[in-house]
Amino acid sequence: MNNIITNEVKTSTKRIIGVAFFGLILGGYIDNAFRVTIPRISAMVQKIDVEIAQINYESSIIFKLIVLTIISLFAAGVAAFLGRKKGIWTGLLANSIYILIFTGILVFAIIKGVDELIGSISFQLYAFIQLLLIILASIFGGFIGEKFYSPDKDLDLGNNKLTIFGIRWLHYFWILPFIFYPFLASFIIVIYEAILSFLVDYYFAIHPSLWFKFAWWIYFFIVPMVVSGATLIMFGGFIRFCEIMQYKQAESKGWKKFGQVFLYGIGAPVLSYALAAFGANVIHGMPRPTTGDWKIGLILILIIPTIAILVSIFLWIKKKVFHRY
């Protein structure tokens, strides 16, 4: 097993199989994080029960296609990076179970003539699209993972024990369910809140009726700080946790290390998730604009560049006239 991660920048069959399996496991945790977080976001947006949002998520073909593609991309990229070489083959191997499953489903559907609908498309077409997306994501993820690799980024080089990203491999039995999983859930909702906050700026700009609502000015004072805080806590906590868990680090040991692991590995993602959820709830609870005021906002927005263009044309004409005389 110690041959999976070596001290030299080279690869082997055992290493590729090992990192591909690790990528597959990561993909499973990403899937679970999406299953927990996305329905809660949907419930927040649509103002429905989480149970109903969960049913909608499980029955949505769009979510299935997108999530499994993201999982395949991430698993392939991580496996290819750890594999150091033969990235595309490593990426395909990391998702080989999904590829085999959907190949079997597609063949079975064609042979048996299954013509049921999944959403608005046929079952056969769904299986084909999903299979194609998994293969493309595996190839692309494997390619990117290998290209991103370099010895100076490899935390496993020089270690005399088997490590993955510089952390002893046995630790991943508790890191993945208790640390990695909460960070994934936190990452998903933080990204959602950041995108939502970005779009809200444009939403506010084209709705003049919101310009005179005091709640919105309070929003611009509070929510950006919440978004920044959640992001910094999440990334800072994850980086600090990885530093503490490095195989050769001697800074923290015993109860001190235990406390830091709990603080950065559990406390940070939980706090980040709570802040991001709070920010998203605030955004969805903000006062709505007057119907149709976006037309006025659009006109006002277009006036500024129009005036700028007219002034530029006037100055250009004036310059040409003065040069002539």
- Whole-Å CA distances, 319 to 122, 227, 239: 65, 48, 57
In a domain, residue 150? The reply is yes
Mean residue pLDDT of the chain comes to: 86
What pLDDT is recorded for position 3? 44
What pLDDT is recorded for position 10? 65
In a domain, residue 276? The reply is yes
Do 151 and 19 sit in the same domain of this protein? yes
Do 161 and 177 sit in the same domain of this protein? no
With helix as H, strand as E and coil as C, how does the chain read?
CCCCCCCCCCCCHHHHHHHHHHHHHHHHHHHHHHHHHHHHHHHHHHCCCHHHHHHHHHHCHHHHHHHHHHHHHHHHHHHHHHHCCCHHHHHHHHCHHHHHHHHHHHHHHHHHCCCCEECCEEHHHHHHHHHHHHHHHHHHHHHHHHHHCCHHHCCCCCCCCCEECCEEHHHHHHHHHHHHHHHHHHHHHHHHHHHHHHHHHHHHHCCHHHCCCHHHHHHHHHHHHHHHHHHHHHHHHHHHHHHHCCCCCCCCCHHHHHHHHHHHHHHHHHHHHHHHHHHHHHHHCCCCCCCCCHHHHHHHHHHHHHHHHHHHHHHHHHHHHHHHC
Q: How crowded is the C-beta side of 56, counted as CA atoms within 13 Å?
A: 13
Do 184 and 227 sit in the same domain of this protein? yes
What pLDDT is recorded for position 4? 44
Do 1 and 142 sit in the same domain of this protein? yes
What pLDDT is recorded for position 44? 84
What pLDDT is recorded for position 231? 94
- pLDDT band of residue 324 (cuts 50, 70, 90) is low
In a domain, residue 259? The reply is yes
C-alpha 167/C-alpha 67 separation (Å) is 28
pLDDT tops 60 at residue 325:
no
pLDDT tops 90 at residue 47:
no
pTM: 0.79
- Whole-Å CA distances, 168 to 2, 148, 154, 156, 230: 11, 22, 14, 10, 29
Pull the structure tokens for residue 233: 């806590």
Do 56 and 73 sit in the same domain of this protein? yes
Model pLDDT for residues 17-36, shown as the tens digit of each residue: 999 999 999 999 999 999 98
Do 41 and 121 sit in the same domain of this protein? yes
The domain total for the chain is: 2
What pLDDT is recorded for position 288? 82
pLDDT tops 60 at residue 134:
yes
In a domain, residue 296? The reply is no
Pull the structure tokens for residue 111: 């042979």
Burial 128-138 (b: 16+ CB within 10 A, else e): bbbbebbbebb
In a domain, residue 193? The reply is yes
Name the more confident of 151 and 93.
Answer: 93
Do 10 and 87 sit in the same domain of this protein? yes
Do 140 and 97 sit in the same domain of this protein? yes
The residue range of the domain holding 139 is: 1-165
Name the more confident of 79 and 321.
Answer: 79
In a domain, residue 94? The reply is yes
Do 184 and 211 sit in the same domain of this protein? yes
